[in-house]
Structure 1
Amino acid sequence: MTYPVATPLSPSTRAPIPIRELLPWAVFFGVLMLVLLHFVGTEQGALTVFSGESVHEWVHDGRHLLGFPCH
């Protein structure tokens, strides 16, 4: 019984991503991370955006995990 032998493919060369195409995505994710850090770290404090305790309850464990005091 014979088995077919797979022939190796030629190595593909990938073109580097230009900085001009990468920069808008880096800025977007940087701003997104800052907004998330705000909600985890300071929401329901001095710089509150939403009233009530709902945001605090949603991010409560994340605050303790990241070392933010909330009590």
Structure 2
Amino acid sequence: MATISALPTPAAAPAPIPFRQVLPWAAFGIVLAVVLLYFVGAEQGITSVISGETVHEFVHDGRHLLGFPCH
């Protein structure tokens, strides 16, 4: 009778990602987060980039959800 041994094979370690490849994506994510935070939190009044109430009404519920007062 043949015996089959079930020895675990070592798993290959994942290759590290170089910092130079992560940096552009991290910078893009930070810029995107700041732009979204501006439009949700401060796009009204004197700092308004887009005139009118369109952006304010579009992000109104998100403002309240994140704790920004708006009226």
Q: TM-score, normalised by structure 1?
A: 0.81
Runs of 4+ in 1 over 3 A off after TM superposition: none
Q: Deviations over 1:13-32 (max 9, x none)?
A: 31010111101100010000
> What residue ranges of structure 2 are gaps of 5+ in the alignment?
1-7
Larger radius of gyration: 2
Q: Deviations over 1:17-50 (max 9, x none)?
A: 0111101100010000000000000002221011
Q: Which residues in structure 2 correspond to 1:4-23 (within 5 Å)? A: 11-23=11-23
Equivalent pairs counted in the alignment come to 64
Q: Say what the alpha-carbon RMSD is for the aligned residues.
A: 1.4
Overall identity of the aligned pairs, in %:
66
Counterpart code for 1:70 = C
> What residue ranges of structure 1 are gaps of 5+ in the alignment?
1-7
